[in-house]
Amino acid sequence: MYVSTLLINVGINPDRPRPGRLWLRNRYRVHQRLCMAFPSESRISEDADFLKPFKPEDFGSNQVHVTRGPDAGFLYRIDPLAGGGVVILVQSAAKPNWGYAFCNADHLLAAPPEVNFPAFSFSLEQHLRFRLVANPTRKIDTKSGPDGCRRNGKRVPVRTNELYNWLARRADPAGFSIDRDSTAVQAGYIYVNKTSDGPGQRLRSVRYDGILKITDPAHFQESLICGIGPAKAFGFGLLSVAPVKP
């Protein structure tokens, strides 16, 4: 998997937003721009300078709007930095073409993107620091209707006092375990709007930071690749890990 680091130009005065700060306010637009890093071969050959309008079908038919896996899709997360900066981390199956994605919008970036190809190697009972920004939800109204078919139900945010348990339940099948005392839970919301004049949608956003223990290396690696929880198109689900400092 490729891991990209995009430092965003948010300016230094929050009262005078730079374009990058405005762009980050709408996750729909962020996802759309990130998709542009996976252009089809025909798009590159016919429009090398990205002069034509964006058309979803020209970008990553096997990389975007698909189930994340070893050979397809990408995950991303928007992280604040000390001092007010912002970075976007992108984990993708294919190597991204950031030069193409931002060739008509390089003012959104504060530095050239960095792309790495880290090697994953995990062992049973290994301890790692982790960060996950997730969209904890639960389904309601899923009872079977008169025809006997079970309804898909409606997703609603998980209650604040259940946020730790939401991740703890998903950790076991994902190949790891967490401990309440070493897990920080920071809850909030983000807003998503596909149009400039619509009401938009408020999504639950929860950041988990802590120490995990690997209980199944194969399942853990799969979870790292595929992500955890819903709403991955809006910056949720990317699990990042790092060694525990002595």
The answer to the question of residue 121 being in a domain is: no
Q: Are residues 111 and 174 in the same domain?
A: no
Q: Are 238 and 146 in the same domain? A: yes
pLDDT tens for residues 181-223?
999 999 999 888 776 666 778 889 999 999 999 999 999 999 9
> Cα separations (Å) of 102 from 9, 36, 105?
13, 8, 5
122 occurs within a structural domain: no
Last residue of a domain, one of 69, 84, 116: 116
Domain ranges, residue 185: 127-243
pLDDT digits (tens, 9 = 90+) for 24-60: 988 888 999 999 999 988 888 999 888 888 887 888 6
* Residue 146 placed within a domain: yes
Q: How many domains does the chain have?
A: 2
Domain boundary among 85, 116, 147: 116
Model confidence over 116-165: pLDDT tens digits?
Answer: 998 888 999 999 999 999 999 887 655 655 665 665 667 788 899 999 99
* 90 & 169 share domain: no
Boundary-marking domain end, from 65, 84, 116: 116
Residues 149 and 231 in one domain: yes
103 with 36, same domain?
A: yes
Residues 29 and 59 in one domain: yes
Nearest to 7 by CA among 93, 62, 84: 84
CATH classification at residue 180: 3.30.70.1210
Q: Is 228 in contact with 222 (CB distance < 8 Å)?
A: no
- Verify that 107 and 187 share a domain, yes or no: no
Among 71, 44, 69, 80, which residue's Cα sits nearest to residue 59? 44
Question: Rounded to whole angstroms, how far apart are CA atoms 164 and 169?
Answer: 9
User: Is the Cβ–Cβ distance between 128 and 241 less than 8 Å?
Assistant: yes
